[in-house]
Structure 1
């Protein structure tokens, strides 16, 4: 038995219907495909544009294929129009121009361009033409400029995310239109959009359907409207890091659907008592870091059993950790750092088996570190630094740890071997415990994801593991300073490493400075001071393009400091300290000409830190204004040049006056000769100047008095002579600034300047008709005549002596001092006369 017969025409109609069905389901409209391909061609693919992704979605976009099947593209199954475009994390790099074919896709309903790099493109007003959009996400894609008011035309939007871009701004008029017109909004994220001109009261017009509002770090100032907290559908509210934002968190009628509350670093008054906390039964995330907390019942926090993240850091809480926190069994993140909590870390935390992040740093905890912390099964981040903890470090019971910071405690013993098995570890910081001992095992080089390694200020001994030079291309911080390490500096720094901070200061290292350091092309901080290194000046370091701090002090370095040998040598150097060595020859004038960062002031008051995700601030100890000082953080504005305690000879070059941004200049304890350069007057930011213990001659330039920030001046133990300039800054310096210069005179030193107390030659009451007023009562013409005669005889005799001895310097100096005194007094009187006239 067979199939019934089918005519040829029927078969053709069947195939056409089948093909039409397939087409309507899959084939996109030709104009849509063309627009997408042209959009793709306007960008390049760059791995740095999307740091967390490694799959560019547009790779699957091929001409001649169905665009509805392309990665990230969604189509209407009937019309073939593109309705959704998800290009999040696609490594797109380039400018998004207003004439982009993206804006011809008028049927788009969902558009996600987040986590790409659009190179500070403006957010185009043409986004407002995509009138069917319900979801628009431009998060973290390096957009800049003003947010266009045309965004408010997207009346169908239910989700808008413009957060984490290149400081875009939102004008009050545009924001007002946005909140009035987008009445269907459920999710709004404008974090890091500059809204400093927007009045917080404008937020009162937000839709009652809003479920998520995120305005982190927007520069909002003024009183925040309290009714926002009472929106009936609000589940997520984050206003953190708006330091000028005030107002009061309501004490009643809070919605019990609230799951996220972020008020960190605001001045909004938080008043949470028992009953109010009990209402927040849905709360999963609460961040009140550095907040204006008026009252918060820590014990009642135990009722918030849905909490997964709790941040109460930087709030001056005291006492012990309340045992009720042990009820928060769902917690994965707990941050109680920067408070005044005391006592041992009790076992109440033992029940928090879901903890991944535990931050208890900067408190007053004492006792040993409880072993149960190292047994928490999911723990990844443990930060206990700056407490009073004692004892050994226990062995870890798992291998999930990513960060371990136990620095600034009183721990002792060796590093447990289980730490070297933490394959995901990115930061290991055990600094400043003083009693940690033993050798640094080469097993540490098994930590191939390590980015920060700080074992400084301990008692580690032995040699540095040579593998530290090349064991990981991810390591950005290596700090082994202030230990008892011996041997040599590793000579195996590999190409393409990520090292930014290298500190081996204060050990017993010998040998030479390895030229392989020039492979560390990202290096910003290099401190090899206080060792026993015997070498010449490592001029190859000048080729490091990012180097900002170079300290080689207190070693056995010797020879001339020649240079530069390369273009742009040390152009970014901010701190240059080669003091306490045996360098000789002239000062390195060539380098003075290339220290560009010391010629211009940096107005950005930021602290220098490693560029990885873990906040590691650079620190340094140096002599600052004559006192040994430890800077826990280094401002990027600081400029220091210290060449003291060497054997430099010759004159101070005039070119040093180019270094206008210097804060501290120390050339003391050398063998410098010649005069103090008047070009130093150009160093208008100078706060400390030390030229002591040299062989400098001549007078002190009066121009130095114009250095209005100069707080420390040391010119002692030279061969300076003449009067110490008076007025301006010089009146603030005592005798110690000038001692050991026998030729100096002035009120600061024992030797008074000749004629200091003599009356003015032309007092204001001068009267030509009465010579008694000039010389004083009872002093007339006879005395003048006698003086004239004696002066004539003295002058002839002195002239004869000068002619015969040919050594007139003492006489000329006396006459010059007298002449200068007369000139000063004449100018002073002229100034008074001019002031009266004006």
Structure 2
């Protein structure tokens, strides 16, 4: 089959067109090809260098081929010059030096090096030599240092993106020279200073993003001179002052974000002129006053965010005139009055956040019209009444948070029938009655705690296969047993059924439960039987609280498989066991409470390296432990030696929404801490049978806030090293057999509010001044040998010298007498004769325990003074 015939004229025209095409297309010049290859060779290809996307374009660059055909390279088809270089996401890693061959590509018009890793290179001043450049994108490429002023010489630049480099700085006033710019993005850097009025010269700008920097000062009214601006983002800086009304001149603006600054005053009504706005975010500032009703004149607005300000008054009903609004966030303000029913006129609304205000009254019936609503957050207000049945139409509702209000009545059963509901939080209200059976298995989060519910836990809850959180705590009246079917909830992370009247045994399967379970709180119930005897390996348990039940038996050593445990609270049960030494191997344990059980035997102290090194609260009080105090543990309690300045509440790391709670004796009062600050440090060994002396090493625990060794059989002196516990707020050594004087060093504990030394065998004067002036007679009663203004027995003569601070390596008695023939031994020698003095000094030197002699001399001295003096000085004062 042959070709169809063509005329001579057509053939000539074809040849002419082919020749013209060939002659007008130029290959890449050799020097440009070489420059690109050398540029390529100066970097390595690393998969971690590009995060958002990965396309190693330079791998297609081969020597001897036309560079105009290389990936990411654009050429002028007439001249063959490289005019565009797009190496975004090319996985380049290395330093971009100022002598790079990149800068020999003088005809570049577009340069995109975004999403690579240039290893904190400084932006070279040679970027300013690309005189034809219209686009420069260095976004997310790990550049650092000062942006060179030569960048502002790029007079043809239309788009400049230096965002997401974190460590760049520049002089903002210099950018006013780039008068052709339409897009400027400096976000997510370390730029600071005030923005310059010269930005008002960039009259072609359509997008300006300065967010996530450290810019400060006021917004200049000159920004209102940018007539083509459609997007303005100044969020997350340090801007202050009021919003200039001139921003109302930006009539083309579709997005305005000023969130996360320090703006104050009222919102100017001129913002109502921005009729093209689709998104307005003024959250987390210091705005006050009422929301101007003019915001209801923004017909295209889809998102309005005013969270975390000081707005007051009523929510304007004009917001119900925004026909396209999908997101309304007004949480964290001081709005009062009733929720306007006009909000029910927003047919496209999907998110409504009104939490943490002072709203009153009932939820409007009109909310039943919000059929597209997915998120309804009304928590922490003063809303009342039952939940209206009109809400049963919200078939798309995913999150319903009504906690912290005054809702009452029964929880309507239709809530448990909403087909899309995943998160239901009704805690801290006044709901009563039984909990309805659930009719859908979509629920993932259920918190009904702190209400007045009663009856058994609905069996349908234990069929929710996707449930991650179940909190039914502090209802006081939930009864019945915990079924073993609860262990079928394989995605459960938090289980809190505490403070109820649940009975029966703890399901043994909870020890072998899902590896995802992080929180198990069954405390304050009527549970019997034993603690789960088998804990599986590789579990995620961080918080175990079985306090306040009637559990018996022993503590299973398999609990050491719970290597993530931070809190163990088994207090107030009937556990009969010895001290569980195996717990000291748990690397993250911070709270251990075994109080009020039937534990017995010695607590010998550390048997492993860094035992209990992270322990902050150690409470083994009200048991039958005996023998000496566990000095070995005191040496390894590293977390009690250093103060924690981080004032956060302790919470589960695998589930950050759950904050730990604990019941504890604090300053003599039994208190339930619903939140535990990470700064707290408590050591409570009281109400046992410990004997022997208080070890001096306890003075190392300088972060302790509460130390309770009361109601034991401790002997010896009160160690002066306790004066090193400078954070101590409560010290209870009462009801022991302690002897000797009260160390004056305790007076230097400026935070000490509670001191109880009562019912010991202490003697001598109660130190005066300092912190002792704040304690009354109850701190010292029951010590017949004490004298001072707080007790009936008055002192005679001068107050005895204060005890000197002691080291941790020697006994306190040595600190009084020193090594060998101390000054006291010499003094006694002069008083009783040289021979007697030498003998006494020798005894002191050999035994290093002269306390018996000191007490003998002191008793003689006190008897003599009572006979010769009738008036005693004042050695104390009553509590302020």
State the TM bucket, normalised to the shorter chain.
0.7 to 0.9
Task: Quote the Cα distance in structure 1 between the aligned partners of 2:140 and 2:209.
Answer: 16
In structure 2, do the counterparts of structure 1 residues 812 and 343 end up closer, same or farther at CA, with 3 Å as the change threshold? Answer: closer
The 5 Å alignment of 1:7-156 reads: 41=45, 58=54, 83=86, 85=88, 96-98=119-121, 113=140, 125=147, 134=159, 147=169
Aligned: 1:409 with 2:427: no
Shift of 1:549: 1.8
Is the Cα contact below 8 Å between 1:402 and 1:426 reproduced in 2?
A: yes
Name the counterpart of 1:525.
Answer: 567
Task: Quote the Cα distance in structure 2 between the aligned partners of 1:821 and 1:233.
Answer: 99
Using the size of structure 2 for normalisation, the TM-score is 0.73
Aligned: 1:186 with 2:211: no
In structure 2, do the counterparts of structure 1 residues 590 and 59 end up closer, same or farther at CA, with 3 Å as the change threshold? Answer: farther
Aligned: 1:201 with 2:219: yes
For the residue of structure 2 that corresponds to 1:628, the secondary structure is strand
Is the Cα contact below 8 Å between 2:497 and 2:523 reproduced in 1?
A: yes
Q: 1:296 aligns with which of 311, 315, 336?
A: 315
For the residue of structure 2 that corresponds to 1:408, the secondary structure is coil
Is the Cα contact below 8 Å between 1:622 and 1:629 reproduced in 2?
A: yes
In structure 2, do the counterparts of structure 1 residues 222 and 38 end up closer, same or farther at CA, with 3 Å as the change threshold? Answer: same
Aligned: 1:158 with 2:183: yes
RMSD of the alignment, in Å?
A: 4.8
Is the Cα contact below 8 Å between 2:740 and 2:855 reproduced in 1?
A: no
Shift of 1:599: 1.5
The 5 Å alignment of 1:674-823 reads: 674-754=716-796, 812-815=858-861
For the residue of structure 2 that corresponds to 1:750, the secondary structure is coil
Name the counterpart of 2:287.
Answer: 268
Task: Quote the Cα distance in structure 1 between the aligned partners of 2:501 and 2:760.
Answer: 42
Task: Quote the Cα distance in structure 1 between the aligned partners of 2:595 and 2:56.
Answer: 57
Shift of 1:455: 1.8
In structure 2, do the counterparts of structure 1 residues 370 and 111 end up closer, same or farther at CA, with 3 Å as the change threshold? Answer: farther
Shift of 1:310: 2.1
Shift of 1:704: 0.8
Task: Quote the Cα distance in structure 2 between the aligned partners of 1:137 and 1:377.
Answer: 46
Q: 1:433 aligns with which of 450, 467, 475?
A: 475
In structure 2, do the counterparts of structure 1 residues 39 and 572 end up closer, same or farther at CA, with 3 Å as the change threshold? Answer: farther
Shift of 1:720: 0.5
For the residue of structure 2 that corresponds to 1:463, the secondary structure is coil
Name the counterpart of 2:386.
Answer: 344
Shift of 1:528: 1.9
In structure 2, do the counterparts of structure 1 residues 229 and 376 end up closer, same or farther at CA, with 3 Å as the change threshold? Answer: farther
Task: Quote the Cα distance in structure 2 between the aligned partners of 1:466 and 1:182.
Answer: 72
Is the Cα contact below 8 Å between 1:84 and 1:108 reproduced in 2?
A: no
The 5 Å alignment of 1:663-674 reads: 663-674=705-716
Q: 2:365 aligns with which of 323, 342, 347?
A: 323
Task: Quote the Cα distance in structure 2 between the aligned partners of 1:821 and 1:183.
Answer: 101
Is the Cα contact below 8 Å between 2:248 and 2:271 reproduced in 1?
A: no
Of 689-698 and 246-255, more deviation after overlay is shown by 246-255
Task: Quote the Cα distance in structure 2 between the aligned partners of 1:405 and 1:516.
Answer: 31
Shift of 1:524: 2.2
Of 220-229 and 663-672, more deviation after overlay is shown by 220-229
Is the Cα contact below 8 Å between 1:683 and 1:707 reproduced in 2?
A: yes
Using the size of structure 1 for normalisation, the TM-score is 0.76
In structure 2, do the counterparts of structure 1 residues 319 and 459 end up closer, same or farther at CA, with 3 Å as the change threshold? Answer: same
In structure 2, do the counterparts of structure 1 residues 705 and 821 end up closer, same or farther at CA, with 3 Å as the change threshold? Answer: farther
Is the Cα contact below 8 Å between 2:45 and 2:56 reproduced in 1?
A: no
Of 130-139 and 807-816, more deviation after overlay is shown by 130-139
Name the counterpart of 1:544.
Answer: 586
After superposition, what is the alpha-carbon deviation per residue over 1:546-588, rounded to whole angstroms, capped at 9, x for unaligned? 2222222222222222332333322222222121122222212
Shift of 1:268: 0.6
Name the counterpart of 2:330.
Answer: none
In structure 2, do the counterparts of structure 1 residues 748 and 491 end up closer, same or farther at CA, with 3 Å as the change threshold? Answer: same
For the residue of structure 2 that corresponds to 1:604, the secondary structure is coil
Q: List gaps (5 residues or longer) in structure 2.
A: 6-13, 63-70, 77-81, 92-114, 317-338, 800-831, 837-851, 875-880
Shift of 1:686: 0.9
Task: Quote the Cα distance in structure 2 between the aligned partners of 1:581 and 1:412.
Answer: 34
Is the Cα contact below 8 Å between 1:436 and 1:459 reproduced in 2?
A: yes
Task: Quote the Cα distance in structure 2 between the aligned partners of 1:239 and 1:604.
Answer: 30
Name the counterpart of 2:634.
Answer: 592
Name the counterpart of 1:247.
Answer: 265
Q: List gaps (5 residues or longer) in structure 1.
A: 51-55, 67-72, 758-794, 800-805, 829-838
Is the Cα contact below 8 Å between 1:618 and 1:632 reproduced in 2?
A: yes
Name the counterpart of 1:779.
Answer: none
Name the counterpart of 1:768.
Answer: none
Name the counterpart of 2:251.
Answer: 232
Shift of 1:269: 1.7
After superposition, what is the alpha-carbon deviation per residue over 1:48-101, rounded to whole angstroms, capped at 9, x for unaligned? x99xxxxx95498895699xxxxxx9775987965263599xxx9999432799
Q: 1:382 aligns with which of 416, 421, 424?
A: 424
Aligned: 1:642 with 2:661: no
Is the Cα contact below 8 Å between 2:479 and 2:503 reproduced in 1?
A: yes
Aligned: 1:661 with 2:703: yes
Shift of 1:739: 1.0
For the residue of structure 1 that corresponds to 2:758, the secondary structure is coil
Aligned: 1:473 with 2:515: yes
Is the Cα contact below 8 Å between 1:330 and 1:352 reproduced in 2?
A: yes
Q: 2:411 aligns with which of 339, 347, 369?
A: 369
Task: Quote the Cα distance in structure 2 between the aligned partners of 1:233 and 1:379.
Answer: 39
For the residue of structure 1 that corresponds to 2:286, the secondary structure is coil
